[in-house]
Amino acid sequence: MEATIITIMALLFLSFVALGVFVTVKVAKAAKRGVDRTLDQARRTVEDTTLRAKSLGQTGAAGELARLRLSLRTSMRATQEALQAGVGEDASLKESLDLFHRLSAHGLELDADLKRLEREPDRAWVAGQLPELAARTERITGSADALRRAARDRALKFAEDDLSTLSAQIDVEAGALRHWTGPEATPGTAQAAGTGAGAGAQDAATAGWGQPAEPAGQAGPRAAGEQSAITAPDPRRTAYPWEKSARPETTT
């Protein structure tokens, strides 16, 4: 019996140790990914700032190379962010995102070529390569911009269609809410038309309320209703500033 208890406790101890190691590894990996993302973002910010400064402060081949790299990086990053943000709501953008990944391979290759040319000492030869590099940059950024703008136009179109449908539904509901003056909305009409002379006074007193008239000096449901009608609503039951307390359905 004692050996069994010791074995069970040893197994529990090893289980807790294994669980602790697993959680520690997961936390360490998550922290490493967070640090890597922060470092990547900081490095991109530094590179973009450097390229912007070169494109504005330098002339000739060096300034043109910086301008091409900055244009390429800005267009590709904006398109990637737009597609990744929209694919969660629109599954059809998955194919567009796959095409962008293929386009990214060409963009990375071009960016590497431009970066190597920044260290090329023969500036005259680099100047001769600029027209072809500018054409490649324009083709890649043009394709990226086309994907991004198409995704944006698609999102705007769906939003406009949804707003149009919602506006039409609200117009119908608003028209239905205004139908309070018709014959069917007048309480007690049918009852009053079919009653005799002896019951007319009682029907007139009770029609539309569902309770007989209260004697003088007694507070009935109507008085309680009047009291609640002038009492301020509980602000804790209002979720938004434009919401009002719920109105009862119109009975016919």
Q: What is the pTM of this model?
A: 0.56
Query: Which DSSP string corresponds to 74-108?
Result: HHHHHHHHHHHHHTTT-TTHHHHHHHHHHHHHHHH
- The tens-digit pLDDT sequence of the chain (252 residues) is 677 788 888 878 788 788 888 788 778 777 777 766 677 677 777 777 878 887 787 778 888 999 999 999 999 999 999 999 888 888 888 999 999 999 999 999 999 999 999 888 888 898 999 999 999 999 999 999 999 999 999 989 989 999 999 999 999 999 899 887 655 554 554 444 444 544 444 554 444 434 444 554 454 544 444 444 444 455 554 444 434 444 444 444
pLDDT at 181: 60
C-beta of residue 96 within 8 angstroms of C-beta of residue 151: yes
pLDDT at 106: 95
pLDDT at 212: 46
Residue 235 carries which DSSP code?
G
C-beta of residue 87 within 8 angstroms of C-beta of residue 93: yes
- Token pair of 81 as six digits: 């962010």
pLDDT at 36: 66
Question: Which amino acid does the sequence have at 146?
Answer: A
pLDDT at 23: 81
C-beta of residue 79 within 8 angstroms of C-beta of residue 145: yes
Q: How far is CA 129 from the centre of its chain?
A: 44
Alpha carbons 163 and 157: distance in angstroms, whole number? 10
pLDDT at 252: 43
- Token pair of 76 as six digits: 């590709």
3-state helix, strand and coil shares in percent for the chain, rounded to the nearest 5: 75, 0, 25
Our CA dihedral for 188, 192, 195, 197, rounded to 10 degrees, sits at 130
- Token pair of 205 as six digits: 């007193």
C-beta of residue 225 within 8 angstroms of C-beta of residue 208: no
Question: Which amino acid does the sequence have at 44?
Answer: R
Biggest distance spanned by C-alpha atoms of the chain: 115
